[in-house]
Structure 1
Amino acid sequence: MTEPHTPLAWVAGSDAPEITSLNIGYMALTDCAPLVVAATQGFAQPHGLTLNLHRQASWAGLRDKLLSGELDAAHSLYGMVYAVHLGIGGTPASDMAVLMGLNQNGQSINLSPTLQAVGVTSPEALARHAHQQGARLTFAQTFPTGTHALWLYYWLAAQGIHPLDDVDSVVVPPPQMVAHLRAERIDGFCVGEPWAASAVDQGLGFTLSTSQAIWPDHPEKVLACTQAFVDQHPNSARALVASVLQASRFIEQSPENLRGTAQLLSGAEYLDAPLTAIEPRLLGNYDDGLGHHWHDPHALRFFAGGSVNQPWLSDAMWFMTQFRRWGLLRHDPDYLGIARQVQQTALYRSAAASVGVPVAPDDLRSSQLIDGKVWDGSDPAGYARSFALHALADD
């Protein structure tokens, strides 16, 4: 990967970062790419920063180090950030901050070779199998309140399978998914790349659905930190966002940059995975393990003119509606008010302006999901109640 041209630093004088060396956590997933590129390809230094990357073994460990201050910011599951802020999922409530989006799309639901062997290779076949007497299946996701759990739950429910009543769900760190599948501890999983592609490459089952089939251009990982970090180091936080925005833009400037990013990520210090498991799906080229090949128009993306990175209020509210839907919240929160607290929209707009990235004037966007429902953030409480399958607790 060639060294990019970087503009003159925008930080100067009183806008200089309060601290210049930041500890950044990440998980071994393809969608950590903007942070790896920002740290290693010359994007942070012009903004007065050094980014020290720290690979984490689990999302729970990453969360705990973020809260303790051992990590300044991190590649984070969107839902995990809001669970911490709301005090659900086993930790006391702690004020959190979403600085920007890191990616959209690019996660997958895979099923095991055992299910493939008995012809469970379609959503309809899975629904029939899941409702058979004594055929209780076990699915893995990466964190109880994370994106993978919620994509899995949403997709299963869209097929008429209740994710809490009809199947068992277990937590497995992303790099361990393939080993659990090989050991026949699980019947399927929802995980980020490259681990779904790796399972297919190794002949361990197939990809039944992508997350972008559930919600085209859905929110996924975010760059997150505590609100205390933003309050104490606003210039450092702004410089961090500017650095990662430039890296995100660079990754998508050409197929060569995407390929170079895949090569960089394959290294032992980052994903430690074969390039063949990383590059094809990063380029949007899918092989599901059942003989189907396609180029996905909604593959993993990091920039898309800045629309990936904008911390949309509606994206944040959607995760809270799913917490409500599945009983993790017993009452409707102040959806919009909480999103406005956590999403650092003003800081993001300032950073984006400094590096010439456009920002949409509205902080809400509209999308249609796999079940035909339209989500636009206008009525989150009504949306949470609108699903036939749910686990809503009584008010």
Structure 2
Amino acid sequence: MNTPSNDALAWVAGSDAPEKNVLDVGFMALTDCASLVVAATQGFAQPYGLTLNLKRQSSWANLRDKLVSGELDAAHSLYGLIYAVQLGISGNTATDMAVLMGMNQNGQSINLSRALQDANVTTPEALERHAHQSRTQLTFAQTFPTGTHAMWLYYWLASQGVHPLNDVNSVVVPPSQMVAHLQAGRIDGFCVGEPWCASAVHQGLGFTVATTQAIWPDHPEKVLGCTREFVEQNPNTARALVMAVLEASRFIEQNQENRRSTAQLLSGRDYLDTPAACIEPRLLGEYEDGLGNQWHDHHAVRFHHGGEVNWPWLSDGMWFMTQFRRWGLLREDPDYLAVARHVQQLELYTQAANALGIAVPASAMRSSQLIDGKIWDGSDPAGYARSFSLHARADSTPLHASR
């Protein structure tokens, strides 16, 4: 563990001391909660005057409700969950939300069932043919109607010519229940975070057909989220929390041994409660897909990468809103940039990063090329949302996002 610098500790003294010292922080049983678990258990929070009580949640909807009600102070959260609550398309009412920092990039996958594998539906092309020729629609699971997994699944299917709203069924399943649903034959495939994709492969229950980093290299994934009210009432606490999680994120990536020890920590009953053998390989970037292919993924899960992962890019938040618009979750274009500026806590993050000597990018926008060749840079979000050949019909019933 690194010892915080004097500059960093200056934030927790005197008038900058945390307004609240004990925080209840929610998480889901996923590998990408790692920096929160490390911050809470390996001595990264205490120097900043914080005690983090980690609260594992049973579903993203449950986490959302507790975050909005104040039962949780902050949480490991889906990017799309925070923005859906902000826009009033998830939960009972719109609530002002905040993204304190990014927690990770990459590291999710799309898996298909053993039944499809046995039927030689093992490529995107074979899946596209099957989806359009089979009399029975395939059923795919994702973890939350506006979440990252839903958006990756929809984007990938559409890029292969499969309409995610018309050609297949989409259902919501909590992450830790995905493997059981696949084994029971209730679903034909899923998009979820690790270790559940690796676990399904490990158990011979199917194969990984695509990683999400193949859809969008270094894509945004989980964030450290809270309500805007929490930030406004506890700015010093929020900044201290960011600093503790930043330190933990940097620690995990210092060397492979830290990643291995993190996998072992996460395997515990209080966190992922699954064998380290299902966590460690993909945490290290070592993949096997269940079809006999093995590779080292150069865009595997990242927690820090010099701060690039953690910077709350405005363009990342805006992208999720373009997909809400594309798939009918939003009937009209929001003011994409204004909403993102309201949610992303750039100033607070900058203060925390500067105190830790972590570089802050010169711009809050970044440019990426996705699997279908489209470039996303945040410059024309409304045009981007309208640019897709596969989308929800303008007269269709909006997707239900309140589950």
With the shorter chain as reference, the TM-score category is over 0.9
**Counterpart secondary structure, 1:131:** helix
Q: Is the 8 A contact 1:121 1:208 kept in 2?
A: yes
Quick check: 1:208 aligned with 2:209?
Answer: yes
Return the letter of the residue paired with 2:30: L
Partners in 2 of 1:102 and 1:394 — Cα distance? 37
**What is the Cα deviation at residue 133 of structure 1?**
4.1
Quick check: 1:7 aligned with 2:5?
Answer: yes
- Aligned partner of 2:400 in structure 1 is none
Partners in 2 of 1:274 and 1:132 — Cα distance? 39
- Aligned partner of 1:281 in structure 2 is 282
- Aligned partner of 2:313 in structure 1 is 312
- Aligned partner of 2:161 in structure 1 is 160
**What is the Cα deviation at residue 135 of structure 1?**
2.9
Report 1:108-147 matches (<5 A).
108-147=109-148
Q: Which runs of 5+ in 1 are unaligned?
A: none
Q: Give a deviation string over 1:199-241, Cα, whole Å, max 9, x none.
A: 0000000000000000000000000000000010000000000
**Counterpart secondary structure, 1:190:** strand
**What is the Cα deviation at residue 91 of structure 1?**
2.7
Partners in 1 of 2:285 and 2:75 — Cα distance? 25
Return the letter of the residue paired with 1:7: S
Partners in 2 of 1:393 and 1:341 — Cα distance? 28
* Count of aligned positions: 393
Partners in 1 of 2:80 and 2:297 — Cα distance? 25
Partners in 1 of 2:168 and 2:304 — Cα distance? 36
Q: Is the 8 A contact 1:129 1:135 kept in 2?
A: no
Identity across the alignment (%): 74
- Aligned partner of 2:353 in structure 1 is 352
Partners in 2 of 1:347 and 1:183 — Cα distance? 46
Q: Which runs of 5+ in 2 are unaligned?
A: 397-403
**What is the Cα deviation at residue 341 of structure 1?**
0.3
**Counterpart secondary structure, 1:25:** strand
Partners in 1 of 2:238 and 2:134 — Cα distance? 53
**Counterpart secondary structure, 1:152:** helix
CA RMSD across the alignment: 1.0
Quick check: 1:338 aligned with 2:336?
Answer: no
Report 1:169-184 matches (<5 A).
169-184=170-185
**What is the Cα deviation at residue 12 of structure 1?**
1.2
- Aligned partner of 1:188 in structure 2 is 189
Partners in 1 of 2:94 and 2:341 — Cα distance? 17
Return the letter of the residue paired with 1:191: V
Q: Is the 8 A contact 2:243 2:352 kept in 1?
A: yes
TM-score by length of 2: 0.96
- Runs of 4+, deviation exceeding 2 Å: 3-8, 392-395
**What is the Cα deviation at residue 394 of structure 1?**
6.0
Partners in 1 of 2:310 and 2:394 — Cα distance? 33
Return the letter of the residue paired with 2:276: L
Partners in 2 of 1:183 and 1:285 — Cα distance? 28
- Aligned partner of 1:23 in structure 2 is 24
- Aligned partner of 1:222 in structure 2 is 223
Return the letter of the residue paired with 2:158: A
Partners in 2 of 1:357 and 1:251 — Cα distance? 15
Q: Is 51-60 or 82-91 further displaced after alignment?
A: 82-91
Q: Is 89-98 or 116-125 further displaced after alignment?
A: 89-98
Q: Give a deviation string over 1:66-109, Cα, whole Å, max 9, x none.
A: 01111000000000100000000343110000000000000000
**Counterpart secondary structure, 2:299:** coil
**What is the Cα deviation at residue 6 of structure 1?**
3.6
Q: Is the 8 A contact 2:250 2:303 kept in 1?
A: yes
Q: Give a deviation string over 1:98-142, Cα, whole Å, max 9, x none.
A: 000000000000000000000000000000000014131000000
Return the letter of the residue paired with 2:220: P
Q: Give a deviation string over 1:48-78, Cα, whole Å, max 9, x none.
A: 1111100000000000000111100000000
Partners in 1 of 2:118 and 2:359 — Cα distance? 49
Q: Is the 8 A contact 2:65 2:91 kept in 1?
A: no
